[in-house]
Amino acid sequence: MAALSSLHHVSATLSLLTLAKPSLSATPFRRLPPITSSSLQFNIKFAPPSPKPKPPPNLKPDAVLDSDSPPDGQFFIPWIVRGEDGNLKLQAHPPASFINALADAKTQKPKKKVDKEVKKKKEISSVGNAGIEPPAPPPKLSKAARRFYNENFRDPPQRLSKVLAAAGVASRRGSEELIFNGKVTVNGSVCNAPQTRVDPSKDIIYVNGNRLPKKLPPKVYLALNKPKSYICSSGEKEFRSVLDLFEDYLKTWDKINPGSPKPRLFTVGRLDVATTGLIIVTNDGDFAQKLSHPSSNLTKEYIATIDGEVRKRHLIAISEGTEIEGILCIPDSVELLPKQPDLSRPRIRIVVHERRNHEVRELVKNAGLEIHSLKRVRIGGFRLPADLGLGKHIELKQSDLRAMGWKS
């Protein structure tokens, strides 16, 4: 009966369309004979319904599929979600939160996982040397820490005469004379004892009414190629002093060392007025005393140019030594140097360590020879640079000082 009612409904619909649209009336339609219930029989069989999926055990029995659930017989994956009422239910499509999460995951770029080891290597390579960690910055010390260091680890107080000499007031002996003459005051009182221990950074020291600076000049070590006709002291007026060769150096001192007083320079040992070559100039009294003391046992090498011809007997006589000031002085080595085409006079290399006045000249004179010129070329392990001109100087490095046996 349901089928018959459906056919009648279709026939009525077609009739209405024919009347509503005249354009369709020209199209011929085949009329069907009327269907009666007595003449029509149907043999319809329906498939058995497919079993519904079993709900999970924690699903309440009153939970039903939503309106979007597919019809029976269609395969689907159920989604178990919690509704607004708090109960679990089955639905055919995934929840909205899950769909939104998938959309965000597709649009976002995946983040690259950077290994910690690779990141560390990149940071190290950016410094400039791969495989070398950047040096840590020096720690910043507070004022209290610096004050504690200055009070406990700074240089101990020194003798007054030594402090005056280091400040450039005068030599050690000249400073003692100023102290004995009452020209020096310490903390408002006249001091007559050169051995008094003072600290320039704490004690107030006046010399001839002038305040001694708190900051002492830094230590200076210079090597000079001494020219002829220069002496190593400033007491004689008829000769120029080697210290006059450092006037330009001291004029530029304030630009190179701003805020630091100028050093009082002096020579380590002496060379006579006619001797040229290597001489050390400094303001460090301890350094000068160490190099000048016989216990240092430093050797000094000289090149003596001789007027006349040098025989074997002359060399033997020099090597046997001579008596100077009551002491027999024997050189370490004596050698006749090969002749050079540009030099007509013979040359002798002599190495000594006794530190007697005019020692080399006396050795050559005792052998019956006459010196035309004398030049010192080495002190200890430091040799005068061949390209250093007469009257020129260079600053000594720490390696040069160690070559002469000095450890600052």
Q: What is the pLDDT along the chain (408 residues), one digit of tens a residue?
A: 444 454 455 455 545 444 444 444 445 555 655 555 444 455 556 556 655 555 555 554 444 444 444 555 555 567 777 777 778 777 777 777 777 777 666 555 555 555 555 565 555 555 445 455 556 666 777 777 766 666 565 667 888 988 888 887 877 888 899 999 999 999 999 999 999 999 888 889 999 888 888 888 888 999 999 999 999 876 666 778 999 999 999 999 888 888 788 888 989 988 999 999 999 999 888 888 888 887 888 999 999 999 999 999 999 999 999 998 888 999 999 999 999 888 899 999 999 987 788 899 999 999 999 999 999 999 999 999 999 999 999 999 999 999 998 876
Position 365, amino acid: K
Residue partners of 317: CB distance under 8 A and separation at least 6:
366, 367, 368
Residue partners of 272: CB distance under 8 A and separation at least 6:
358, 361
Identical fold at 143-211 and 299-379? no
Please give the positions annotated as active site.
272
For residues 284 and 219, the answer to whether their CB atoms sit within 8 Å is: yes
Q: Do the bridges between strand 327-329 and strand 322-324 make them parallel or antiparallel, or are there none, so unpaired?
A: antiparallel
C-alpha neighbours within 13 Å on the C-beta side of residue 249: 20
Residue 40: is it exposed, middle or buried by C-beta count within 10 angstroms (0-12/13-18/19+)? exposed
Beta-bridge partners for 276: 375
Q: Distance (Å, rounded) from C-alpha 335 to C-alpha 353? A: 16
Which pLDDT does position 326 carry in this prediction? Answer: 85
Beta strands per DSSP E along 243-389: 266-268, 275-282, 300-307, 322-324, 327-329, 333-336, 347-352, 370-379, 382-383
The second-level CATH assignment, the architecture, of 299-379 is 2-Layer Sandwich (3.30)
Both tokens of residue 35? 């269907």
Annotated domain spans of the chain: 143-211, 221-293+389-403, 299-379
Tell me the CA distances in angstroms from 102 to 76, 80, 112, one per residue in order. 20, 18, 19
Residue partners of 396: CB distance under 8 A and separation at least 6:
221, 222, 223, 280, 382
Both tokens of residue 387? 């390209």
Measured in degrees and rounded to the nearest 5, phi and psi for residue 361 equal: -65, -40
For residues 356 and 305, the answer to whether their CB atoms sit within 8 Å is: no
- Reduced to 3 states, what is the DSSP secondary structure of residue 14? helix
| DSSP assigned state of 381 | T
Angle ∠(366,371,375) on CA atoms, nearest 5: 115
Total residues belonging to the chain: 408
The second-level CATH assignment, the architecture, of 221-293+389-403 is 2-Layer Sandwich (3.30)
- Reduced to 3 states, what is the DSSP secondary structure of residue 97? helix
Helices (H), 82-142: 96-107, 116-127
> Domain 143-211, what fold?
3.10.290
Which pLDDT does position 110 carry in this prediction? Answer: 56
Position 89, amino acid: K
Which pLDDT does position 158 carry in this prediction? Answer: 85
Q: Distance (Å, rounded) from C-alpha 174 to C-alpha 248? A: 25
| DSSP assigned state of 25 | G
Which pLDDT does position 7 carry in this prediction? Answer: 46
What's this model's pTM, rounded to 2 decimal places? 0.58
Neighbours of 180 (CB within 10 A): 13
Classify the C-alpha dihedral 358-360-363-368 as positive or negative: negative
Position 151, amino acid: E
Which pLDDT does position 41 carry in this prediction? Answer: 56
Residue partners of 73: CB distance under 8 A and separation at least 6:
47, 49, 50
Q: 């009422």: which residue's tokens?
A: 85
Position 261, amino acid: P
How much of the chain is helix, strand and coil, in % rounded to 5? 30, 20, 50
Nearest Cα to 239, choosing from 226, 229, 225? Answer: 229
Neighbours of 175 (CB within 10 A): 24
